[in-house]
Amino acid sequence: MRVCILGSGLSSLTLAKSLVNQKIYVDVLYSKKIYPVNKTRTIGISKSNIEFFNEKIINIEKIIYKLNKIEIYSDNLEKQKLVSFGNNSDYLFSIVKNHKLQEILQKNLFKNKYFKKTNYKANINYSKDYDLVFITDYNHPITKKYFNKKIEKKYNSVAYTTIIKHNKISNNIAVQIFTKNGPLAFLPISEYETSVVYSINNYLKGEIEINKLINNYNVKYNLKKINKIHSFELKGLSLRSYFHKNILAFGDLLHRIHPLAGQGFNMTIRDIKILNNLIQNKIDLGLPLDSKLNTEFEKNQKHKNYIFFSAIDLIHEFFNLERKTKNNFLSKSIQYFNKNSSINKTFIKIADKGLLF
């Protein structure tokens, strides 16, 4: 069996590694255009997804930083704590540098006999040359031809990312603050470094302004340095159709959500879990990998992904409305419900494993 992946980002490499582990030949085809590496980008991975990654994809224990708690605050309650998840006895999720994860995947894949990486070729007949084709590339002609129907949300926001360096500290608590400008997250990646993601509403700000805002909301770290600020426009999307014949959209091309909950890459890992199970069932039964697999995948995941996409968007809109109206009803309600231990555990379970129905 031979499959093709169009695109060479983190989702593509993770998918490729899971497939070669099932002894499937994988060709990753990519554009010649070289994009600069953003070393300030980090991703959060839930505990259950870390366990899956280590067991079924590749062990990444050496490059992750485990966090025990999440604390959420709001300007509307004068920076009072809204929610606190977790405890010191076990970790909730981990933070990893995006480029470090890509490096470890690439290094391992290049040694694997089932893997090949090459530039795009115009003469490839994807329907005949491959059993299945996975596509993560936004700019590929196939994307524009078959995967242009989607539910899209423009947040009129820009996400600014950086890594701050500080004095050594016991650094195992992630903090999110719903500020007057938008959600700001402090995500520890070591005792000396913390990743910062600040989603600013409505307009662009310069690096000096962002640094001032970070300093204003930093009450924990004795800063030594704020690295270069990077930025990207925020958009949410959910594809209406997941596949065309033997071609399946995947990764951020399939769904993209607001980063306030740190769930984007977790959704992709959960998709890979389901895909792995479907493929293994085909292999066990001696059945071919064909478009029927795409049908089964869409049937299994589309409604879950859409509900998750809508839920994250709803959280964003609630806090955005609260920010605009300067009403703290939502914040006080969340503060109240967080005192219920069963509700708290349900939120943790959903954040860890997604929707299980």
pLDDT in tens, 148-193: 999 999 888 899 999 999 999 999 999 999 888 889 999 999 999 9
Total residues found in the chain within this entry: 357
For the chain, the straight-line distance linking the first and the last C-alpha, in angstroms and rounded, comes to 31
Q: How many helices (H) and strands (E) does the chain have?
A: 10, 18
Burial (0-12, 13-18, 19+ Cβ within 10 Å), 33: exposed
Domain encompassing residue 84: 2-353
* pLDDT at residue number 293: 96
Percent of the chain with pLDDT over 70: 92
Most confident of 71-80, 245-254, 333-342: 245-254
Sign of the torsion formed by the C-alpha atoms of 338, 344, 347 and 348: positive
* pLDDT at residue number 122: 66
Q: Give CA–CA dist 82/61, Å, rounded.
A: 31
Read off the pLDDT of residues 206-242 as tens digits, 9 standing for 90 and up: 778 889 999 999 989 999 999 999 988 899 999 999 9
Q: How confident is the model at residue 324 (pLDDT cuts 50, 70, 90)?
A: confident
Report the 10 Å Cβ neighbour count for 263: 21
The CATH number of the domain holding residue 167 is 3.50.50.60
* pLDDT at residue number 86: 81
- Does residue 256 sit in helix, strand or coil? strand
Percent of the chain with pLDDT over 90: 60
Q: How confident is the model at residue 81 (pLDDT cuts 50, 70, 90)?
A: confident
| Number of domains, the chain | 1
Q: Give CA–CA dist 274/304, Å, rounded.
A: 12
